[in-house]
Chain A
Amino acid sequence: MAVSTTSPAPAAARPSTRRSFVDRVDAHLKWVLIVPSVAFVGLLIAFPIAYTAYLSFTNASGSVSRPKRFVGLENYTRWLTDADRFWPAVGRTAYFTGAALVLELVIGLAIALLLRKTFRGQGVVRVLILLPLVATPVAVGMMWLLIFEPTIGFANLVLGWFGIPAQGWLSDPSTALNTLIFIDVWQWTPMVVLILLAGLTTLPEEPDEAARVDGAGAWQRFRHITLPLLAPVIGAAAILRSIDALKTFDIIYATKGVGGGSSHEAETLNVLAYGQAFQFSQYGRASALLMLFFLLIVIVLATLAILRKKADQS
């Protein structure tokens, strides 16, 4: 028969150990209470970013659990010296974001100013303007793909009524990116309208009335009163839209597919990273690309925040 040699001492010591643990927890309760939120942030935000950063220094491919080698900055230098895919993708990302942002702010402001005045049927118009916003981006992409189809699409049919020759729209490499900007503007301008309209309704009316009494014209009042007062709201809308536009993926993928088209004409950084990760299973390279993209977004946001701060101070 086996004889147990376990000493009973630890069992006897257990209550005091437990008490000291409870006392310690008790002493640091405020720290203990934030554990769930720290765990949440750690697992769902910090861990993925840290793991992506780790993968970016390896040659991980095929499966992340396959043996991988530490390759230092190789993935980064590969991208930064890639004039075929990386830098054109950076250019397209910047162009797409810049153009979409400017157009959406200008058109959005114009529509918001028009909708500010009360008129009959205002409710219906506001609902109609918001419709694109509630549509799923992939469905939006598919819809425009059909409309812009060169042979059987509605867009060229309409052009034909006016005797204008058919256009390549999404299929022509020289116009594809601009067509995508158009789709983005169509879908997201309503959001800018919504934000700016909310901003406009909160503006004080006195300065405008005072200027009107002083004989200022509509443009002068807009330029020197409405616009400066609305600047913080425009800034907020710009930040929100620029983040969204920078990471646009769905409409490009739905209309141009993997690689952003046959000549990569609509390949932005997001589309390029998706292709590297999911099509090519090059997780190391894709991670490096995403880290570079992450840095780019941080730089853009920091710049916008600084500009906003300066504007607020002045």
Chain B
Amino acid sequence: MFTLSPSRRSFLAAASAGALTLTLAACSGGSAEQTAPEDVKTLTVIAANSPWTEGLKTLATEYQQKTGVQVKIEAYGNEQLNDTYKVKLNASSSDFDVMAFQVQDVMREFSRNGWLTDMTDYVSSDADWDWEDFQQPAREAVQLDDVVYGVPVMTEREIVYYRKDLLQQAGIPVPKTLDELKTAVSTLNDPATGTFGIAMRGSRVPLVTQYSSFLYSFGGDFQGKDGEATIDSPEAQQAFQFYGDLLRSDGPPGVTNMGWVEASALFAQGKSAFYIDADSQAYTFLDPTKSSVVDTVGFAQFPAGPAGSKFYNIVPQTVGINEFSTKKDAAWEFIKWATSKENTARLLSENTVPGARESAWADASAAEAFPAELVDIIRNAGESGVGHDRPQLEQVAQAREIVGGPAIAAIEGGDVAAAAKDAQKQFQDLLDSEG
């Protein structure tokens, strides 16, 4: 038998301490203890890559100069962003404070999981900051059961992008109705010369949000008044058929593998006469380094269907506070500053961020940076805009996969009615499972 030497003892002590630290680190949750704003030296923001996030990088530098608080920004692609949140928040992580999220994708789920801070008192705390200045639909979009979970920082609508030159050559006016759109698309479809009639999302999940405006304009919706599934309604089936026919007859090959990245690339390269998607992509086509249609791209309001021109008008980016953050008040101070009237107008004019403040849009010099046609559509959104672009429930991702089914059947020329009936049952089951 041998005895422990002092060095062995300290080694054992260090080893046990190490193991204990690991165990505690694995077991500990986020601490609710808050740091006073004046003691906060750094804040961490997690956001999706977007014009707003780009603008925020400049604002963050200025904020540091003004207050001494360093703001670190981590930006991800949309899908990676949600994965990052799920991993970090499932572990009650407090290593980030400000979180930009997509209201429609995750707000229900995240708020029920207890991951989002209730910001109701924050937004009403400062009259000068002026919560009421935010567009009403945008304010409504970030609330659930009268609780505010974030501040809307971007708005977005579905619009029609078209090639002015091609329409002019063929003597076709800008389509005002879906029927006119269909005729124009088939007239301009010329695969032999490498120009397709239309490019749109055809991939099962991504297409759902862009199908939504077709659905509304045909008079349907994903859910009825009581939240029940309505995706096999005659209107929904007509919309599925219309969407599928457009892409099957006059769209590019391989369309069921296309999200907005692929479809917008075709339009930017001059290989498509029409492109229908969110207006936030307008600046891709106006950027000479990314687009060969800078001088020929036109913007038009979503065409009218049997129920009129009804397009989504949503809040794609909202900025909230991590419930597990230890610097909530400091996080709010930064959000308040970044979303002030002055900075919203600045982001609108300098970074073309379509903000949600009425005052920014009323400022003619700030809105000048936007093409006039686009500003008209945005101002008209009040009458035609629908506040959502996907099913409204907690399990949005699963619902989108279900709703995409009949659209794929339509694109592939399959039995839309049977696919819609099947999807309706699955969607209703999913809604029922949430109670």
> Which A residues form the contact surface with B (CB < 8 A)?
22, 25-27, 29, 32, 35-36, 39-40, 43, 47, 62-66, 149-152, 166, 168-173, 176, 256-259, 261-263, 278-282
Contact = CB atoms under 8 A, between A and B. Distances in A.
B57 to A, nearest CB: 24
Given A171-B255, A262-B203, 15 more contacts: A26-B4, A39-B18, A39-B22, A43-B22, A151-B253, A171-B253, A171-B254, A173-B256, A176-B257, A258-B205, A261-B257, A262-B202, A262-B257, A281-B109, A281-B397
B82 A35 contact: no
B257 A170 contact: yes
B327 interface: no
21 contacts: A26-B2, A27-B1, A32-B12, A35-B19, A36-B15, A43-B26, A47-B26, A62-B113, A63-B113, A64-B90, A149-B262, A150-B254, A151-B254, A152-B271, A171-B255, A171-B258, A258-B397, A259-B401, A261-B203, A263-B256, A281-B395
B2 to A, nearest CB: 7
Interface in B2-29: 2-4, 8-9, 12, 15-16, 18-19, 22-23, 26, 29
Interface size band for B: 35 or more
A259 B90 contact: no
A34 to B, nearest CB: 10
Nearest to A170: B257
Contacts of B265: 152
Residue from the set A27, A173, A262, A281 with the largest chain B CB neighbour count within 10 Å: A262
Contacts of B2: 26, 29
A150 B1 contact: no
Contacts of B12: 25, 32
Nearest to A47: B26
Contact of A35 (B9, B16, B395): B16
B404 A151 contact: no
B398 A279 contact: yes
A262 B204 contact: yes
B266 A151 contact: yes
Contacts of B365: none
Given A259-B204, A281-B86, A150 B252 contact: yes
Contacts of B38: none
A262 B398 contact: no
The 7 closest A-B pairs by CB, nearest first: A171-B254, A171-B257, A63-B113, A150-B254, A262-B204, A39-B19, A262-B256
A49 B351 CA distance: 47
Given A26-B4, A278-B82, A257 B16 contact: no
Interface string B282-317: 000000000000000000000000000000000000
Nearest to B113: A63
Contacts of B113: 62-63, 65-66
Nearest to A171: B254
B174 interface: no
A259 B109 contact: no
A63 B89 contact: yes
A65 B92 contact: yes
Residue from the set B9, B16, B256, B395 with the largest chain A CB neighbour count within 10 Å: B256
Contacts of A63: 89-90, 113-115
Contacts of B142: none
Nearest to A277: B86
Contacts of A32: 12
Interface string B20-51: 00110010010000000000000000000000
A223 B97 CA distance: 65
Given A66-B113, A151-B266, A262-B202, A280 B253 contact: no
Interface string B384-398: 000000000011011
Nearest to B112: A62
B198 interface: no
B274 to A, nearest CB: 15
B259 interface: yes
B121 interface: no
B83 interface: yes
A257 B12 CA distance: 49
B224 interface: no
Contacts of B258: 171
A51 to B, nearest CB: 10
B241 to A, nearest CB: 17
A262 B408 contact: yes
B194 interface: yes
A101 B16 CA distance: 45
Given A26-B4, A62-B109, A257 B253 contact: no
B404 A25 contact: no
B79 interface: yes
Contact of B257 (A36, A39, A66, A256): A256
Contacts of B257: 170-171, 176, 256, 261-262
Interface in B221-266: 252-259, 262, 265-266
Nearest to B271: A151
A166 B192 CA distance: 13
Contacts of A169: 254
A168 B254 contact: yes
A85 B398 CA distance: 14
Contacts of B114: 63, 65
Contacts of B380: none
Contacts of B18: 36, 39
A47 B114 CA distance: 25
A18 to B, nearest CB: 11
B397 A168 contact: no
B64 interface: no
Contacts of A35: 15-16, 19
A104 to B, nearest CB: 25
Given A27-B1, A43-B22, A258 B79 contact: yes
